[in-house]
Amino acid sequence: AAPPALPPRSSSSSSSSSGSLAPAPSAVSPRAPAPLPPRSSSSSSSSSSSSRRLSVSAAAVNFATQVATSEEIRQLMRQWTGMMGELFRGPDTLESTLPYYWKLPECVLTVDFAAAADAAAFDAAKVQLAYSGEYNALLLQFVEEAAEWFQVLKRPTPRSQLLHLPVECTVGPHTSFAAYCGAPQGRCLLLRLDVQLQRIAAQQLQRLLPLPLRSFLLLLQQQGFLYFDLWDVLESPTTPGRLLFDYLHCILHARVAAKSLETLFIFFNPQDHSLRIDAQQKDNSWFRRKVILPLGCGGSSSADFAAAVYVHPDGHTKVLVKAQQRSSTDRNKEQLGSIQQIPNSKVVRPSKALKFGEHDPKDLFAHDDYIPLETMIVGHPF
């Protein structure tokens, strides 16, 4: 039989039943969480700056670690530092010299300041030129300044340089120099400096006639040379084309590729106290060199010297010149030790500012005695 139907649930029981299943509402409602106090701006900025300091410190430590452990980074930093230093200080010119040239037979010596225009600037008002008889050379004194406005680390630096004279030329009473500027107005920044020298006349030279080699060796024996000393004189190593002077025995050694003994000439110049050798070489060119006699060696005339010439086994012509060896031969000792100042005759300005690569300097100095460097020979100390 079917089960009996259950009686319907009343509303009260339904509510009580549902109440038994769900928690009864509390008489006091729960409190909402209290809001956090607002952060002040000072604490926020201190926290952010502290975090930034920590990040910068960490980055610095990381960078220092990489530099300490990586040779490539250290090398790159050295290169970068050198590049920045060269940019603000300019290139290093401590060991560099200015090129100079000779124009013969006009006896003009030219110093090319424009060759260093990208490295430094040179004010003509700060240039001094003097002649040193001891070295038979010009002493050039100048001040090296910054070439560009951004070379803030480059300070004016005094510099000096010896300029050797050509064999055929010397300094006379009318010797002077001319300064060529790079702009028509303003400071005279040098492009070049021309020195007008004086050509040595043939009347100023005294020719030395060479003795036979046997007579020359006998003369040395009379002056106290032993057999082995004579052998050392004959076989002394001598560089071809150079004049070497033995200060101990006052003997000049030279080895020249002379065409013949008849085309070789030896001179003494009492004006600058020098010995000079002229020889026509096998290619028909002329070899001309001279050497200033040191203090303690020399003479007052050609009679105070003895010379000998012979053909060396290697094919060169060996030249030997014996000077007197006593202090009384230094007739111009005070003159040689003195310095002769050379004046500035004129300042030459161009018709307009020179721009390298656009103008030919000769066109800007058309009305002056401008000698192109291409027609000159490079100066040298021999």
User: What is the β-pairing status of strands 344-348 and 176-181?
Assistant: parallel
Question: What percentage of the chain carries pLDDT values higher than 70?
Answer: 74
- Average pLDDT across the chain, whole number: 79
Number of domains in the chain: 3
pLDDT at residue 304 is higher than 60: yes
Say which residues have a Cβ less than 8 Å from residue 136's Cβ, sequence separation at least 6: 164, 165, 272, 274, 290, 292
Q: What is the pLDDT, as a whole number, of residue 175?
A: 93
Return the SS3 of 213: helix
Question: Could you give the angle at the alpha carbon of 340 between the alpha carbons of 339 and 343, nearest 5°?
Answer: 135
Q: Is residue 191 part of a domain?
A: yes
Residues 248 and 291 both lie in one domain: yes
pLDDT computed for residue 126 by the predictor:
92
Same domain as 185, residue 273: no
The mean pLDDT value for 271-300 works out to 86
Q: Which of 72, 90, 108 is the last residue of a domain?
A: 90
Q: Which residues contact 166 (CB under 8 A, 6 or more apart)?
A: 102, 104, 107, 109, 197, 379
Burial class, 144, CB count within 10 angstroms (exposed 0-12 / middle 13-18 / buried 19+) = buried
Query: Is 242 in the same domain as 297?
Result: yes
Q: Is residue 365 part of a domain?
A: yes
pLDDT tier at 53 (50, 70, 90 boundaries)? low
Q: What is the mean pLDDT of residues 121-135?
A: 86
- Take residue 213 and report the two structure tokens written for it: 């080699």
**Whole-number pLDDT of residue 197:** 94
At 333-369, the pLDDT tens digits run: 455 456 889 999 889 998 888 776 677 777 788 776 7
Bridge partners of 289? Answer: 277
Q: 216 and 189, same structural domain?
A: no
Q: How many CB atoms lie within 10 A of CB 293?
A: 27
Over 90: is that where the pLDDT of 68 sits?
no
Interhelix angle 227-234/213-222, nearest 10 degrees: 130
- Domain interval for residue 303: 206-330
Give the residue-averaged pLDDT of 45-70: 66
Residues 310 and 222 in one domain: yes
Q: Is residue 165 part of a domain?
A: yes
Packing angle, helices 71-89 and 41-69, rounded to 10: 100
Query: Which of 378, 236, 257 lies closest to 321 in space, CA to CA?
Result: 236
Within a domain: 35: no
pTM for this predicted structure? 0.64
- The owner of tokens 């401008």 is 370
CATH number at residue 256: 2.60.40
High-pLDDT (> 90) share of the chain, %? 25
User: Binning pLDDT at 50, 70 and 90, where does residue 280 land?
Assistant: very high
**Are residues 155 and 251 both part of a single domain?**
no
- β-pairing, 251-256 with 286-292? unpaired
Q: pLDDT tens-digit profile of 3-38?
A: 555 555 554 444 444 444 444 444 445 555 555 555
What is the structure's pLDDT at 319?
94
**Final residue before a domain boundary, out of 69, 90, 111:** 90
For residues 315 and 215, membership in a common domain is answered with yes
Average pLDDT score over residue span 127-154: 80
Q: Is residue 318 in a domain?
A: yes
**Is 343 inside a domain boundary?**
no
DSSP, res 149: T
Q: Which amino acid is at 143?
A: V
Inside any domain, residue 169: yes
In terms of phi and psi (left: phi > 0; alpha: psi -120 to 50; beta: otherwise), the region of 86 is alpha
102 pLDDT above the threshold of 70? yes
Mean pLDDT of 313-340: 71
CA-based nearest residue to 271, from 122, 167, 118, 142 = 167
Q: What does the alpha-carbon distance between residue 248 and residue 230 come to, in Å, rounded to a whole number?
A: 14
pLDDT number for residue 90: 62
Residue 67 lies in a domain: yes
Residues 249 and 313 in one domain: yes
Average pLDDT for residues 150-170, to the nearest whole number? Answer: 82
Q: What was the pLDDT predicted at 376?
A: 92
